[in-house]
Amino acid sequence: MRQITLINPEKFEMKNVEVPEPEFNEIQIKVKYIGICGSDIHAYFGKHPFISCPITLGHEFVGTISKLGKNVEGFKIGDIVTAMPQIYCGECEPCKEGRYNICDKLLVIGCQSVGASSDYFTFDASIAKKFPADFDFKTAVMAEPVAVGVHAVSLIDSLDSKNVVVLGSGTIGNVTAQAAIAQGAKNVLITDISDEKLEIAKKCGIQYCVNTLKEDLAEQINYYFGEKADVFIECVGIGATINQAIKLSKKGRDIIVLGVFEDNADIEMGLVQDKELRLIGSLMYIEKDFDLAIKYLVDGTINTEPMITDVLPFEDYEKAFSNKAKQSDINMKTLIKVD
């Protein structure tokens, strides 16, 4: 079968390898679609703090079960499945608290462990997640990023009657804003410097969209909310947007840090202390978040269709990455179809 590996920054290698056979309690899938994530792009340029070359990427994927290993129950050949791509120890303090997303020995499929950029892929049945028969593959492959947004929102005690600002309207920002709406936020405003991404946000049902290159964010928050924001969720990963949230937040409120930072940020900690703000990091998800993400996709609560701006065949894998990197202002979600 074909397998593609990032051997050096901006350099992929396709090779033929043996089809992996499912071992005890594993399933084998015929991969149908792979999603390119922002963290994949960081890795592509050699700038992800926790991903090193060589690595076979692919933590967002969906396929159909082609073989079952011994002891697998609850699944059958032909089922449409994805996976929660976390491999955790189950023994450290975070794992014992049910917070295996921050396991001391966490490995992520496609990041620190071999990913799904191949014709076939095997993984433990315990992390497999099933979709209804005939469910749309291009929607199913979005479960992983949606789960990221669902988890970020879950870190807020309650969204009832709260005004939420999401900074950054890329895929993660978009699904996070939709998750906030689904979880009962009073109002949700999303920002970006790309009109194209903000237009997609509107198509996804996000109430208020602000281009911060063209409009003053403080004025727009007051215009739409009539007051300052209760919650900020940072989905960009730069100091400027963290400081924007710190300056514009109400006192005593939460700022969720979801963006991936390539570099250390110069943060106005004096204001954090003076306003008694809480900066809360958000990493990936736990099972209940993933299950809720799938529910939202299946029942249509979260709409990902407008985000898919490019679909390329597996043969154009490297082109898919270079296009995504070069067209980041207009390219939201690139999918790779594996025939």
Residue 247 sits in a domain whose CATH number is 3.40.50.720
Instruction: Domain count for the chain, please give it.
Output: 2
Are 78 and 202 members of one domain?
Answer: no
Are 32 and 120 members of one domain?
Answer: yes
- Residue 294 covered by a domain: no
Are 172 and 128 members of one domain?
Answer: no
Q: Which residues of 105-119 are buried (b: 16+ CB within 10 A; e: fewer)?
A: ebebbbbeebbbbbb
- Residue 38 covered by a domain: yes
- Residue 296 covered by a domain: no
- Residue 52 covered by a domain: yes
- Secondary structure (3-state) at 293: helix
**pLDDT tens, per residue, the chain with 339 residues:** 999 999 999 999 999 999 999 999 999 999 999 999 988 998 999 988 889 999 999 999 999 999 999 999 999 999 999 999 999 999 999 999 999 999 999 999 999 999 999 999 999 999 999 999 999 999 999 999 999 999 999 999 899 999 999 999 999 999 999 999 999 999 999 999 999 999 999 999 999 999 999 999 999 999 999 999 999 999 999 999 999 999 999 999 999 999 988 788 899 999 999 999 999 999 999 999 999 999 999 999 999 999 999 999 999 999 999 988 887 777 889 999 999
- Secondary structure (3-state) at 208: strand
Are 233 and 328 members of one domain?
Answer: no
Are 316 and 233 members of one domain?
Answer: no
Are 174 and 123 members of one domain?
Answer: no
Please tell me the distance from the alpha carbon of residue 277 to that of residue 255, in angstroms, as a whole number: 7
CATH number of 323's domain: 3.90.180.10
Residue 117, C-beta contacts closer than 8 angstroms, at least 6 positions apart: 3, 4, 5, 34, 56, 57, 58, 110, 317, 336
Are 74 and 181 members of one domain?
Answer: no
Are 314 and 265 members of one domain?
Answer: no
Are 173 and 241 members of one domain?
Answer: yes
Are 219 and 333 members of one domain?
Answer: no
pTM: 0.96
- Residue 286 covered by a domain: no
Are 319 and 217 members of one domain?
Answer: no
Q: Which residues span the domain enclosing 51? A: 2-135+304-337
Are 124 and 213 members of one domain?
Answer: no
